[in-house]
Amino acid sequence: MRVDFLLKFLWLSVLPLLTFPLFAQQPFVCQNNFYFSFGVGSGNSQLHEVIIDIDGNVDFVPLPNSTNVRLNAIGYRSTDNLIYAVGSLDERLYQIDATGRSFPLVILDVNHSNGFWAATITPNGDEMIILEQVGRSTIALLKIDLTDPTYPIKQRLPLSGADVQTTDIAFDPITGLLYGYDANNTRLVTINPDNGTVNTPFPQSNVADKIGGIYFDAFGNVFGYGNAANDDEAKTFFGINKETGEITNLGTGPRASSKDGCACPFTIDLLKNVTPRQVVPCTEVTYTFEIANLSGTERTGAVLSDTMPDEFVILDVPYNPYGGTVEGIGTNILNISNMTIPLGIDSIKVVIETLPFAEGIYKNQAYLDNLPAGLGGRAPSDDPTTLLNDDSTTIEVFPLVVNLASQQQNLCEGASIELIGGTIEGIDYQWNTGSTEPAIQVSEPGTYAVTITNGCEIEIDSVIISEEPISVDLGDDITINLGDYLTLDPVTNAIGTINYDWTDVAVQFPCVDNCSTLEVRPFFDTNYEVNITSPSGCMATDNVNVIVTKDRGIYIPNVFSPNGDGMNDRFYIMGKGFAQILTLNIYDRWGNLVFNQKSGEINDSNGGWDGLFTGRTAPTGVYHYYAKIVYLDLIEESFVGDLTLIR
């Protein structure tokens, strides 16, 4: 009995310790990397490192081991370089190491009916912040004490302010602000971790729907991964402007579910930029090495090294707030040793010169060495103008060339053209007009020359600019009768294949493709305009007024003799133009309708009344007619009168 009691006592004594890892954990290296945890379907979660290539394609590289649990809310703790996560099935707290293995800690004292999707860890590593979710609403902010081995929830703050569904949160490593993404209103929000107030200063986004993982880099830039607008799958990588809330689609990757992201921006990172990026030989350019130290302490003894291309020579280091010993002036190899890097962000400026005939595309990378092992020991430089991580910085050196002959050489009358001597920085220009600008405006014909130099080479070029006369004439105003056709035939002095563009202010007319002449039949007074363009781009325009006379000239006879002698055998309506008969009725003296015509054209001798009524000869006498006419311009007119039939 004493042995059983002792064993039970020992078991109860060590049981709390079993919540700690039984195997050695391999910590991450805090190097500004982005990690993403997601499962596919209902499977366990796998932790991945997010890699973005130069084309913006997102690749998730899985860590060696599976977590063997289903996780959601994760955060990176910079003090022990482990990732902490919440199990989505049991709300247990886990640690994840650099191999991807999960180590169970404690079951959190939370309402297990609610969801816990979003998490992050405070910059000092003392607390893990998780958000409590009910339905589509985030209701509370919970703080887990990571300094206590029992990991208690030290505070629960109900959220106040806007109703949000926050799918992930992250601290800005520079300002300390806590940012989140509100899936209900598709917008960036901030949350005050001290009182739980939700602030919504940002507009709604039409680019992103849900962002299941957001993170900051060491320079305070924020990114995310989730669902694009109108996309049911989470497979889009976003850039987020923390000042304006604007969201940009940067690339796509694999589909993810039960997802969350985290990063370790609390490190030392190095950006390398160059201005200008396109130069000619013998040009001074400035490299800017921007260093962000968010590691929590000042770093001493750091070394910055950069082996420039052989065609470059270092002239000066005009700005260096980090001190140390600068070596390499007059060579192509920069080395600044024994630097002291305080907390914050600053930069080193290095001026170099490209040597004569140094044409080509050059890529090189700098390194920041002698960093702590927990920060990777070395930080390679990254080109901030690309999405690719830790990539070389590119500069292109062009040969000194000027070619005026390849530019437009004809001058349109009354216009001007631009002559460009060059577009690359580092060139001096001298035109024969006296201008020293890279380009000049030319409005007169003549010879124009430019001399360009980069300090070690000279190029001269010239071009003769001639004026191209161009005109078009449609003639004087034209008068036609209603219904007449008219051909407009412009006269021009332009040479070559001319483009014709016709417009009018009143009616549309058919012109299938580049009509050099135009046939029209206007029913109203119309102004026609033609614009022509020569092969060299010169243009001219003219217009003409076409006046339409509307002398209707309708004539209706008052007697006819349908006796078969071939003369005046039919009664029909005559007149000018192209009017249509809508109605022609003829009545006898008692009002009986003896003839009805419902359509037809005027001047049709085969139409009208032939003097028959119900197939029999109508008697001689006086008849009455009613006619209704419509003209081409849709004007209608009615006529009534008497008609005498003579046999």
For 117-147, the pLDDT digits (tens) are 899 999 999 999 999 999 999 999 999 999 9
Question: Does residue 32 form part of some domain?
Answer: yes
Q: Does residue 260 surpass a pLDDT of 90?
A: no
Residue whose token pair is 């991580």 = 389
Q: State pLDDT tens for residues 408-427.
A: 888 888 889 999 999 998 89
- Phi, psi of 374, rounded to the nearest 5 degrees: -65, -15
DSSP-assigned letters across all residues of 469-512: ---EE--S-EEEETT--EEE--EE---SS-EEEEEESS------
State the Cα–Cα distance between residues 63 and 41, nearest whole angstrom. Answer: 19
DSSP-assigned letters across all residues of 621-644: EEEEEEEEEE-TTS-EEEEEEEEE
CATH label of the domain that carries residue 587: 2.60.40
Q: Does residue 495 surpass a pLDDT of 80?
A: yes
Are 281 and 235 within one domain? no
Side chain identity at 516, as an amino acid letter?
S
pLDDT, average across residues 388-399: 93
Question: Does residue 12 form part of some domain?
Answer: no
Are 295 and 352 within one domain? yes
State the Cα–Cα distance between residues 103 and 88, nearest whole angstrom. Answer: 15
Q: What is residue 11's predicted lDDT score, i.e. its pLDDT?
A: 32
Are 58 and 139 within one domain? yes
Residue 503 — very low, low, confident or very high, per pLDDT cuts 50/70/90? confident
State the Cα–Cα distance between residues 96 and 178, nearest whole angstrom. Answer: 23
Are 187 and 83 within one domain? yes
Q: State pLDDT tens for residues 423-467.
A: 998 899 999 999 999 999 999 999 999 999 998 999 999 999 998
Domain count, the chain: 5
Helix (H) or strand (E) holding 440: strand 439-442
Could you tell me if 498 and 490 are in contact, meaning their C-beta atoms sit under 8 angstroms apart?
no
CATH label of the domain that carries residue 44: 2.120.10.80
Residue 169 — very low, low, confident or very high, per pLDDT cuts 50/70/90? very high
Least confident of 58-72, 282-296, 502-516, 598-612: 502-516
Six-digit token pair at 588?
């006898």
Are 373 and 252 within one domain? no
Please identify, among 342, 374, 397, the residue that sits at the C-terminal boundary of a domain.
Answer: 397
Question: Does residue 5 form part of some domain?
Answer: no
pLDDT, average across residues 15-40: 72
Are 115 and 96 within one domain? yes
CATH label of the domain that carries residue 517: 2.60.40.10
pLDDT, average across residues 81-91: 93
Are 194 and 51 within one domain? yes
Q: What is residue 80's predicted lDDT score, i.e. its pLDDT?
A: 94
Q: What is residue 13's predicted lDDT score, i.e. its pLDDT?
A: 37
Question: 375 in helix, strand or coil?
Answer: helix
Distinct helix (H) and strand (E) counts, the chain: 1, 54
Please identify, among 493, 517, 549, the residue that sits at the C-terminal boundary of a domain.
Answer: 549
Q: Does residue 2 surpass a pLDDT of 90?
A: no
Q: What is residue 18's predicted lDDT score, i.e. its pLDDT?
A: 41
Q: Does residue 604 surpass a pLDDT of 80?
A: yes
Q: What is the layout of strands, in order, in the sheet containing 92-96? A: 71-77, 82-87, 92-96, 102-107
Residue whose token pair is 């161009």 = 470
Are 64 and 147 within one domain? yes
Least confident of 35-39, 114-118, 150-154, 380-384: 35-39
Six-digit token pair at 291?
């260093």
Are 350 and 479 within one domain? no
* Cβ-based neighbours of 510, under 8 Å, separated by 6 or more: none
pLDDT, average across residues 364-385: 94
Could you tell me if 605 and 632 are in contact, meaning their C-beta atoms sit under 8 angstroms apart?
no
Residue whose C-alpha is closest to residue 483's, from 545, 527, 548, 528: 548
pLDDT, average across residues 289-318: 95
Q: State pLDDT tens for residues 380-389.
A: 999 999 888 8
Question: Does residue 178 form part of some domain?
Answer: yes
Least confident of 174-178, 259-263, 315-319, 529-533: 259-263
Q: Establish how many alpha carbons lie within 13 A of residue 623's alpha carbon, considering only the half-sphere containing its beta carbon.
A: 28
Question: Does residue 329 form part of some domain?
Answer: yes
Strand partners, 225: 213, 237
Q: What is residue 41's predicted lDDT score, i.e. its pLDDT?
A: 62
pLDDT, average across residues 62-91: 92
Rg (CA), the chain: 44
Q: State pLDDT tens for residues 38-51.
A: 876 667 888 999 88
b/e sequence 166-201, b meaning 16+ C-beta within 10 Å? bbbbbbbbbeebbbbbbbebbbbbbbbbeebebebe
Question: 422 in helix, strand or coil?
Answer: coil
- Phi, psi of 2, rounded to the nearest 5 degrees: -65, -35
- Greatest CA separation for the chain: 151
**Which range of residues forms the domain containing residue 594?**
559-645
Q: How many CB atoms lie within 10 A of CB 71?
A: 28
Pairing mode of beta strands 472-473, 491-492: antiparallel
Six-digit token pair at 54?
């130069």
Least confident of 38-47, 179-188, 606-615: 38-47
Q: Does residue 267 surpass a pLDDT of 80?
A: yes
Could you tell me if 292 and 337 are in contact, meaning their C-beta atoms sit under 8 angstroms apart?
no
Six-digit token pair at 556?
């209706």
Question: Does residue 378 form part of some domain?
Answer: yes
Residue 258 — very low, low, confident or very high, per pLDDT cuts 50/70/90? low
Residue whose token pair is 């707030």 = 321
pLDDT, average across residues 252-269: 84
Are 441 and 501 within one domain? no
CATH label of the domain that carries residue 296: 2.60.40.740
Are 285 and 428 within one domain? no
Are 37 and 124 within one domain? yes
Quote the pTM value.
0.69
Please identify, among 465, 481, 499, the residue that sits at the C-terminal boundary of a domain.
Answer: 465
Six-digit token pair at 134?
């009910």
Mean pLDDT of the chain: 90
Q: Does residue 513 surpass a pLDDT of 80?
A: no
State the Cα–Cα distance between residues 368 and 347, nearest whole angstrom. Answer: 13
Q: What is residue 580's predicted lDDT score, i.e. its pLDDT?
A: 92
DSSP-assigned letters across all residues of 108-139: -SS-TTSB---EEE-TTSSEEEEEEEETTEEE
Question: Does residue 307 form part of some domain?
Answer: yes
Residue whose C-alpha is closest to residue 83's, from 55, 49, 52, 56: 49
The CA-CA-CA angle for residues 450, 453, 456, to 5°, reads 155
State the Cα–Cα distance between residues 90 and 83, nearest whole angstrom. Answer: 18
State the Cα–Cα distance between residues 523 and 452, nearest whole angstrom. Answer: 63
Question: Does residue 4 form part of some domain?
Answer: no
